[in-house]
Structure 1
Amino acid sequence: MIKPGLHRSRVDSEHCKTMRRAKERKQKPKGTPPSVVPALQKFLKTYQKHCMQSQTSLCPAIQRDLKNSIDREQILRKFMLVRAGDSTASHLPVSLEPLLMTIQDESYTLGKEVCIWGLQLTNPEIARLALFLESKGQTICPITTLEIINCKMDLWSLGRLGKALQFSSLHFLVLDYCKFGNEELESIFSGLENNQRLQGLSLRYCGLGPPSGPKLGSVISQSAICELHLDGNHLQCSGTLALLRPIAEYAEMEGKDQSTLASPHTGNPPLLPQVCLGGSSALSQIVKSSEAATVKRTSQRERGKRGIGKKVKRLMEAGPWVVTLHLADNSIDRTGKEGEQLLDLTRTLTCLIKYSTHLREIDLGNNVLGEMAAVDILEALRARKTGKLPPLKITVTPRISSDTFTSIWKHSKKSNRTSKRKKKVKN
């Protein structure tokens, strides 16, 4: 039994906290931006209304994040759409449509990311999403990052989504753990070619095989995509070679053209827009530190000054070059007929390392390239350093001699975490 005095003290304590928060809100200094709380509260009510009207379940993650943002008086920029509880018949399904309708009804332009995890997306949901991405004028879509992870979509939905990508304002697209066949890939890639807004693409663990290599190479050559995550697929030697060949050829041509000029790489090397930098496993983390810029295919490219959180009015020019390339765990080795192309792949890869002024990070982990290929990579890194090209962070499997692995690690660009730790130790 709780004593009356103890209960009263707890109530008084909670009352004091509530009064203190209200007082802090009233005593905000002049010039502070208006509170986002009313907008978020209205957003939550509208979302609940649309879920009720469509007979779908409230997404627990969205409801939680909205309430947390209201309590902290913070802007909610990322919407996480996940299943509600157990996927049994007694539970209403979570739908994407109520969320998109709420964003449009409330003209909520502060949200920049929509992440959909593990849902069976229906044709009406994808149709609504496509219209949402294509929206222009006064109702322009504010979303710059779209993640559809481990979701099921039929061929019609993928085709509709692919068409929408041509007209969307997306900067990053993540389709990890969505299994794609040849037809499905064609549907998605149809909206990526000649796309001058999308800068990051992630297709990790999507079941991509060697036939996907030429399609990926074509997309990279004809779009502004400069960050590509393909970990956990089965591109093998031939698929990886088809992907890298146009990029390496362009880098070699650009490098030789610049070598005929008056030492363009002495001093400061060509700079890239920050929007393409940073090889995080989740593309959504890069948005915070990214910048956007107009990229001109000249000997030097200008660094953007405006953040990606703002509207990007200028388009990036398409070209066969990348900044971040993740190819970990893609069955690249000497086994089978595919292994016969490892030598050609190594030549192409080392050419890219030697000449690319744009490349900043490449991940080849969990691929057994062998000692000879590793030595060639090491020589290419040395040549890159001699040519005074920007530093390159490269990851290879440790299944090579310890001397070669250590040398590659030393020539690779050190991570920011390592440099920060060193500074802390010195201080």
Structure 2
Amino acid sequence: MSKTQPSQKKKVAVLPGGKTPARKNLAAIKVHGLLRAYESHCMKMGSCVSTVLREDFSRCIDIQKPLTKITLFFPECSTAERASVSVCPLLCAVRDERYTHVKELRLWDLPIKHEDMADLCLLLEHKGRTVYPLTTLELLDCRLDHWALTRLGRAVALSSITTLSLDYTPIELEGLKGLLSGLEWSSHVLSLSLCYCGLGPWSGSPLASLVSRSAVRHLYINGNGLQRGGATELLQPLAEHSEQTAMTQQTTHPTDTANENSHQGLSQDSREKRVKGKGQKKRRQRVKRKSAGAVATGPWLEKLHMLDNAIDEAGPGATAAGVDLINIICVLVKHSSHLLELDLGENHVGEAGGKLLLEALIERRKAKHPPVKIRVSTRMSPSTFSAILKSSKELKSVKRKRPSRRKTKKN
């Protein structure tokens, strides 16, 4: 068999610095092609080239791995230069190169025009085109109007997105309804973050409809103004569903204390440890299967973060009929076996509310539900506050702070 002549070898792309990648490694070649296409489109459209994104491209080329997380923002741009900043060159480059390795797309503090939003939505939707399997979309402080939010909601419902974050984006009632209209019947969006979006008491009912009809299991609404009225409307269906589910389970599977104590050959302590260990393992597996399936709908949440929502004030939008928000929260804590995280920090529940919440945590432990991570304000007696912490797990915030234009971020 004759050997291949040198003149018959295929040409290999040359990377920056004169480096030639291995023939088997196509990741660096694809990233390099995406970088060239991005710079070319920036030049044609008169847009600034993000140095942060260029560094991410170069780093992936050096380590010869595909770029799976794209973060586009311009910390080095001044106010005058921001007029030439655009997301369109990046979207065009991804389409031209058919770059399907991106899993996470983060756009921070960018002016997104209607044309750019339309291009982004076409990239997300699965309608016979090249499928770009994006799972995380983050649009922070991008100033989206009603049309853009409505278009985005419809596109996300037809995409692979499981995590959607619109933090620091001012959203009014019509914009929220337009966004949620596309997400309400989604069976794959698991996490929604609307922190510091200016939501008021009017947002409680649309959000309650969302969690009742969609697969959203993680809801982050920190830094808004739901107050008691909006929080009550949001939590009411969650509490009612958890209470009804608990009553149904008790009726269908009544506890038989005689059978529980009929085990012989084991001491009381060892028997309790064994039963507790098996129960916790089964519950963890059940919760994990439900989270991974992402198809079950209904008014229940695993993570609810409501830090700093002014629910210590009655304010406008407070509900009539004397519905007590603390009692609703306690019902949710007692009976919801799905609830894993509850953030009520910087909201004044008071000493009386703290004691009710402590009793609910004790009842939850007796019901052998999974432990819940909880955070409350310190505006109560030290003894009640410490008892709540002992009866629950510590909750640490995982939300990212607002990006700064003066600092760069590495993937």
Report deviation, 1:395.
Answer: 0.2
SS of match in other structure, 2:238: helix
SS in 1 for 2:304: strand
1:76-120 deviation digits (Å, cap 9, x = unpaired): 221111136334445662222221222222222221111111111
SS in 2 for 1:116: strand
Residues 176 and 336 (structure 1), Cα distance of their counterparts in 2 relative to 1, 3 Å cut: closer
Amino acid at match of 2:377: T
Report if the CA contact (8 A) 1:113-1:143 is conserved.
Answer: yes
C-alpha separation between the residues in 2 aligned to 1:315 and 1:365? 28
Aligned to 2:45: 54
The equivalent residue for 1:37 is 28
Q: Does 1:399 align with 2:390?
A: no
Q: Structure 1 residues 55, 135: CA separation in 2 closer, same or farther (over 3 Å shift)?
A: farther
- Counterpart pick for 1:351 among 306, 321, 331: 331
Describe how 1:9-408 pairs up with structure 2 within 5 A: 34=25, 36-83=27-74, 85-89=76-80, 93-137=84-128, 139-262=130-253, 267-268=278-279, 271=283, 303=289, 316-334=295-313, 336=315, 344-408=324-388
**Conservation of the 8 A alpha-carbon contact between 1:82 and 1:94:** no
Identical aligned residues as a percent: 37
Structure 2 unaligned segments of length 5 or more: list them: 1-16, 256-274, 398-411
Change (3 A) 1:72 1:381: same
- Separation of aligned partners in 1, 2:239 and 2:219: 15
C-alpha separation between the residues in 2 aligned to 1:403 and 1:315? 40
Residues 84 and 93, structure 1, Cα contact 8 Å, conserved in 2: no
| Distance in 1 between residues matched to 2:354 and 2:365, nearest whole Å | 17
Contact 1:77 1:111 in 2 (8 A): yes
State the secondary structure of the residue aligned to 1:316: coil
* 3-state SS in 2 of match to 1:268: helix
Gapped regions of structure 1 (runs ≥ 5): 1-17, 274-299, 307-313, 418-427
Following superposition, the deviation at residue 340 of structure 1 comes to: 8.1
> Quick one: which amino acid aligns to residue 253 of structure 1?
Q
- What letter is aligned with 2:154? K
Query: Quick check: 1:411 aligned with 2:388?
Result: no
Question: Secondary structure, in 3 states, of the residue corresponding to 1:63?
Answer: helix
Query: How big is the alpha-carbon RMSD for the aligned residues of Structure 1 and Structure 2?
Result: 2.9
Distance 1:162 1:416 in 2: 29
Paired residue type of 1:40? V
**Given the superposition, is the C-alpha separation of residues 225 and 372 from structure 1 closer, same or farther in structure 2, using an over 3 Å criterion?**
same
CA distance in 2, matches of 1:263, 1:41: 63
Instruction: Give the 3 Å change call, closer, same or farther, for CA 252–53 of structure 1 in structure 2.
Output: same
Give the number of equivalent residue pairs. Answer: 359
Q: Which of the pair has the greater relative contact order for Cα pairs under 8 Å at 6+ separation?
A: 2
1:191 alignment partner, SS class: helix
Q: What is residue 286 of structure 1 aligned with on the other side?
A: none
8 Å CA contact 1:210, 1:240 repeated in 2: yes
Note the C-alpha offset of 1:268. Answer: 2.6
Letter in 1 for 2:60: S
* TM-fit CA distance, 1:160: 1.6
The alignment's TM-score, normalised by the length of structure 2, stands at 0.80
Matches of 1:221 and 1:202 in 2, distance apart?
17
C-alpha deviation, 1:301, in angstroms = 5.8
Query: Is this contact kept in 2: 1:55–1:92, CA < 8 A?
Result: no
TM-score using structure 1 length: 0.77
